[in-house]
Amino acid sequence: MSSSPELQAALEAAAAAAEIARSLYRRNLAVRLKSDKSPVTEADVRCELAIREILSSRFPAYGFFGEETGGTAAETESAWLVDPIDGTKAFIREYPMFSTQIALMRCGEIVLGVSSAPVYGEIAHAERGCGAFLNGQRIAVSDLDELEVAALSSGNLKTLASGTLWNRYGDLVARVGRIRGYGDFLHYHLLAAGKIDVVVESDVNVLDIAAAVAIVSEAGGVFTDLEGRPITLSSTTVLASNGRLHAKVLAALGAAAARR
């Protein structure tokens, strides 16, 4: 099945960002803090500008919402959601757990995603109805259906640790077969490829996870927040799974969606 013009443009934009990121990696770039105290470097800004130029020139009527240059996603039928370097702290500390995340949201639903980790050496992409791919190979989630043999990866747990779900999360960790904290793009790539089975995250921004929504879903998985609700522009938590385990994890966490 041939790629849509949108996917072709997103892949081209990710490639342009990858070239910039690789050229600036381990270059001891100056770091400044944004108003929310998160770091930003020259690489973040230059990657986003390159992505924006390609996508906006191809699809001028589409909205664009970027981590560094802003924009809007709510006022147009179709909008690009972009995090040019998801994992800026990793980029600064010079380890390869950073990526470029590009997604397309149409009428409130994420229909396309590209997740490019140029130094780590992986690129995943998906488009609604066309399957999910990792480094050009079609991928699919696992078929495990028991928590006791499942592998769970968690990230950004600080907010969860201070909330009401922490004790239940601890019970879930004690129950699953294996617990890891791959974080960032990697645990979504692993989930979509059937290597792990569940991902739990708190304190995220939609730009961090939008591409992963498309990739995991097209690989046969399920992607919601920790209450079992669909991902929206305001989502801040994640429960992603192979689908077979989703209701069991929601029930273990005592989520409202599991009690309905």
Residue-wise pLDDT tens digits, 106-163: 999 999 999 999 999 999 999 999 999 999 999 999 999 999 999 999 998 888 999 8
DSSP reduced 3-state for 53: helix
Is it the case that residue 75 has pLDDT exceeding 80? no
The predicted-structure confidence for 5-52, as pLDDT tens digits, reads as follows: 999 999 999 999 999 999 999 998 899 998 888 899 999 999 999 999
The predicted-structure confidence for 239-249, as pLDDT tens digits, reads as follows: 999 999 999 99
- What value does the mean pLDDT of the chain take? 94
**CATH class entry, domain 5-130:** alpha beta
Q: What is the pLDDT of residue 258?
A: 41
Angle subtended by helix axes 246-253 and 166-175, to nearest 10: 130
Output the six-digit token pair for 30.
Answer: 């100056």
State the pTM of this model.
0.95
Q: Where are the domains of the chain?
A: 5-130, 147-259
Q: What is the pLDDT of residue 144?
A: 97
CATH 3.40.190.80 fits 147-259, yes or no: yes
Find all residues with CB under 8 Å of 33, minimum gap 6, and list them: 39, 40
Q: Are 59 and 67 in contact (CB under 8 A)?
A: no
